[in-house]
Amino acid sequence: MLLSAEKVAKAFGSFKAVAGADLHVEVGEIVGLIGPNGAGKSTFFNCIAGDLRPSEGRVVFDGVDVTNAPAETHARLGIGRTFQVPATFEDMTILENVMVGAFLRHPQRGAARARALKIIEMTGLGAQAEQRARNLGTPGRKRLEIARVLATEPRLMLLDEALAGLTPVEIQRAMELVREIHRLGITIVIVEHVMEVILTLARRVLVFNQGHIIASGTPQDIVNDPKVIEAYLGRGHGRQARQA
Amino acid sequence: MRWGWLALAAALLLYPWLVAGTGSAAFLQDMGALALLAAIGASAWNILGGFAGQISVGHAMFFGAGAYLPLLLYQQWHLPPLLGVPLGVGVSLLLALVVGLPTFRLQGHYFSMATIAVAELIRIVVSNWDLLGAAIGLQGPAMSPHWWDLTFRSAVPYYYIFLGVLTVLLVVTWHMQRSRLGYYLRAVRAGERAARSLGVPVRRYKLYALMLSATFTSLAGSLYALKTGFIDPDSGLGILVSVQLIITAALGGAGTLLGPLLGAAILIPLQTATNTWFGGSGSGLTYIIYGAIIVLIARFEPGGLLELWRHRVAPRLGKRREGSHAA
Amino acid sequence: MIFLQVTLGGLLLGALYALFSSGLTLIWGMMNFINFAHGEFVMLGMYVALIVVVQVGGGPAVFGLAAAVALFLLGVLIYFSLIKQVMRGPMLAQILSTFGLALLLRYAAFWIFSPNFVTLPPTALAGTVNLGGILLSVSQLVAGIVAGALTLGMHLLLTRTAVGSQLLAVAEDRNAAMLMGIRPDRMQALAWGLSAASAGIAGALMAISFPFSPAVGETFALTAFVVVTLGGFGSVPGALLAGLMVGLIQALSAYYLGPIYKDIIVYGLFVALLWLRPQGLLGTV
């Protein structure tokens, strides 16, 4: 069991964003998290990533209790994450951005640079390595974020809507990148709205609604689950199917 | 751009000799030494404010610690002022921890507020403490036969000592820029949340930057005290000291290696000119101008003159030379 | 008896601190922005009062109102010409913008008004009053009560009126507020106007009782920082409570330890606060 989140809850004042959710991820899985906006997915995500401290519950990563640990500890232990709204270092070049990630495992500049360059090639950003991040469009920024996290050599990657706002072609490229990351042996948990992505990439899907997990299973199970269809998926899936 | 560095180094090394022939050699040499001192202080502030993005508006406390300790040792206990230099650094590091440890885990404003409050607190305490000279201040040795008292009649030996310290600081900063510390600090400045998610121990690195900055600011204070032989609460711990450090770095370009030097090269002559032309009231005008400059920098070009050059001027020059190629 | 007198005096001054600090905390809570020139707004309020009294005549109500209006307009002007733009920029720009502004205002005031301390000519509120053995100056009593009332008024404005809830909506969630048809820009400009006005009136009220010079802005700014930190991020009730406490602590320190200690104790308290309870009394961090 690589990641184990049990009865995680997060309240902001009197508002319960997450009202008790469990997530167990084995090494090598790709798990999807879906649900309507405001369902609590991102808050739950942030609790696992160490960005937020859960009000209740436990998060254990590879045997280490990280419930109250800060985000930097999560990263050092091997949890990497991207952000819903890309948080690239705007005034730094792509290479410099990725080097910040690489420095985690390679304290020496030379080694960090070499590693960063390899990752940049791998993620298809090679041509723009010396450009400032602010000159990239959204797809470029998302790709940069993934490259930057990859450089930290995570064992678990949490992708927060990494494919939102991309054109169909870009989505295909991104999905291929995710598959490639998976082939490297990295376990992936992905929050997504683009249904096709979840259904084709994820082996297991959890559905959030109003702070709870209302269903979990294979993509097939989810698609046919009346609770899920009722909550959100039905209309969305129908729309996606017509577009695909 | 190798020749650029060489030209700069040559100019700095030869400056006292180059102005020796002019009518106001002593004045110009003194101004040169002061400019170097300003560059040291500003470069030190720059490590924290420019690279790490943590804005201290109370850096005078470190400058003051570095200035007071040597003169304190001399005036009260007749010890060589040089011994006070490491003590000044020690006190500065202590102050840095007092201010930084609690505030670096909070949002940025707390740190800035804390710096100005602690600097003012220290200024008031020192102003009322007889051991430290109270409002009158402390004095260093007049002309002394001992080399370690560093009393020189001419500004030239000071000039070269300051140049040496500045060089060390620039080399340290240059190395830092290229190292993990430098990258992590820039990441903290660019986006703390993202930096954390990449494993950057944000609080710890902010403290590193603060302590490095405090050390060199303290050294600048010590050098000032050794040269002028006098310090009092206003010249050592007043808010205008902090202002000088900030504006010198920000005008040239906060977050760049040479920005503080550019700032010093512009501001010290400017300050000297307004003081000379307007006399006593000149200093009042100087600070009105300083305030306006800081506001303009913040409003229009936070990256300072170097950024202005890079983004507005240089591309246009490039276009003219190369035709339609974008810079 | 003396103890009560000192205490009451401290609380009355504290009410004035609360008034101008409530303006600072309003901006902090709403825009996550600390105005380093806030002390200078207080100082300018004092000089507006002086100018009005000297040029036009009139009592505290007149010059108090003048200070409020003048500073309100200044606040709005500063928002549109400076703050609005630097909000989009890096932290360096945000902090330096008002820090530079403080410098500019302070030294312009030195230039225009001279560094000497001045006082307002005696007003209708001159003299002292005897409250059961405690002697208080009328001006301090009135100023303190008015300041306390205005601070409460600020709180009520924010929590009980339509405008107030619009201001709070923008503070809470800018985008959501926009969707509700609230113009964040206008609200933020209004907040700046209110913030500056609160500082201006406080200055005018203090000017009745205390001598002042362009240098006082620096101390007021620091006092405001302590009060808003003690009171808690964005909390006007917190600022009221904290203002009273700081005024009280200052008065007691000055009386029992000596005048130089009044600032030392307060700034020391600030450092202790940062170490032990940065969220202050009523805030969350």
Q: Is A42 on the interface with B (CB under 8 A)?
A: no
CA of residue B12 relative to chain centroid, distance: 18
The set of chains that have 3 or more CB pairs under 8 A with A is B
Using alpha carbons, list the distances in angstroms from residue B194 to A37, B245, B269, C96.
Answer: 23, 30, 42, 24
Residue A81 has its nearest CB partner, among B191, B197, B200, at B197
Burial of B17 (C-beta count, 10 Å sphere; 0-12/13-18/19+): exposed
pLDDT at B127: 95
pLDDT at C113: 92
In this predicted model, what pLDDT tens digit does every residue of A179-238 receive, in sequence order? 999 999 999 999 987 777 888 888 899 888 888 888 888 888 887 787 777 776 545 554
User: 């985000």: which residue's tokens?
Assistant: A71
Average pLDDT, chain A: 87
Inter-chain CB proximity C271 and B113 less than 8 Å: no
Answer whether B40's CB lies under 8 Å from B165's CB. yes
Distance from CA of A101 to the nearest CA of B (A): 6
pLDDT at B53: 95
For residue B279, the one-letter residue type is G
pLDDT at C177: 79
Asked if residue A244 has pLDDT above 50, the reply is no
Using alpha carbons, list the distances in angstroms from residue C217 to B235, C37, C107, C196, C222.
Answer: 20, 8, 11, 13, 9
d(CA A93, CA A133): 5
Inter-chain CB proximity C92 and B120 less than 8 Å: no
Instruction: Please compute Rg for chain B using Cα positions.
Output: 20
d(CA B68, CA B134): 11
In this predicted model, what pLDDT tens digit does every residue of A207-223 receive, in sequence order? 888 888 888 888 888 87
Inter-chain CB proximity A89 and B178 less than 8 Å: no
In this predicted model, what pLDDT tens digit does every residue of B139-180 receive, in sequence order? 988 888 887 778 888 889 999 999 999 999 999 999 999 999
What structural domains and CATH numbers belong to chain B? 29-322 (1.10.3470)
Inter-chain CB proximity B113 and C95 less than 8 Å: no
Cα dihedral sign, A101-A102-A106-A109: negative
Q: Which residue of B has its CA nearest to C268?
A: B121
Question: DSSP state, A1?
Answer: -
Q: Is A75 on the interface with B (CB under 8 A)?
A: yes
Inter-chain CB proximity B298 and C32 less than 8 Å: no
Q: B50 CB contacts (<8 Å, ≥6 apart)?
A: B249, B250, B253, B254, B255, B256, B259, C92
Question: DSSP state, C120?
Answer: P
The set of chains that have 3 or more CB pairs under 8 A with C is B
Burial of C283 (C-beta count, 10 Å sphere; 0-12/13-18/19+): buried
**Cα C116–C122–C125 angle (5° rounding)?**
130
Residue B120 has its nearest CB partner, among C86, C97, C267, at C267
Inter-chain CB proximity B201 and A72 less than 8 Å: yes
Q: Which residue of B has its CA nearest to A149?
A: B198
Chain C residues inside the 8 Å CB shell of B252: none
In this predicted model, what pLDDT tens digit does every residue of B116-144 receive, in sequence order? 999 999 999 999 999 999 999 999 888 88
Give the start-to-end residue ranges of the domains of chain C: 2-116+133-224
A242 pLDDT tier (thresholds 50, 70, 90): very low
Burial of C96 (C-beta count, 10 Å sphere; 0-12/13-18/19+): buried
Burial A102-140 (b: 16+ CB within 10 A, else e): bbbebeebeebbebbbebbeebebeebbeebbeebeebb
For residue C210, the one-letter residue type is F
Distance from CA of C108 to the nearest CA of B (A): 6
* Of the candidates C86, C27, C63, the residue with the CA atom closest to the CA atom of residue C239: C27
d(CA C177, CA B290): 38
In this predicted model, what pLDDT tens digit does every residue of B227-252 receive, in sequence order? 999 999 999 999 999 999 999 999 99
Using alpha carbons, list the distances in angstroms from residue C55 to C50, C70, C107, C119, C202.
Answer: 8, 15, 23, 15, 21
Chain A residues inside the 8 Å CB shell of B196: 50-51, 70-72, 75
Burial of C127 (C-beta count, 10 Å sphere; 0-12/13-18/19+): exposed
Q: Which residues of chain C register pLDDT less than 70?
A: 284-285
Show which of residues 92-151 on chain A sit within 8 Å of chain B, judged by CB atoms.
92, 96, 99-101, 103-104, 107-109, 112, 148-149
What's the rounded mean pLDDT across residues A38-67? 88
pLDDT at B326: 38
pLDDT at B2: 80
d(CA B116, CA B243): 11
In this predicted model, what pLDDT tens digit does every residue of A55-91 receive, in sequence order? 889 999 999 999 999 999 999 999 999 998 899 999 8
Torsion region of A6: left, alpha or beta (phi above 0 gives left; psi -120 to 50 gives alpha): beta
Distance from CA of B327 to the nearest CA of A (A): 13
Question: DSSP state, B132?
Answer: G
CB atoms within 10 A of CB C178: 14
pLDDT at A197: 81
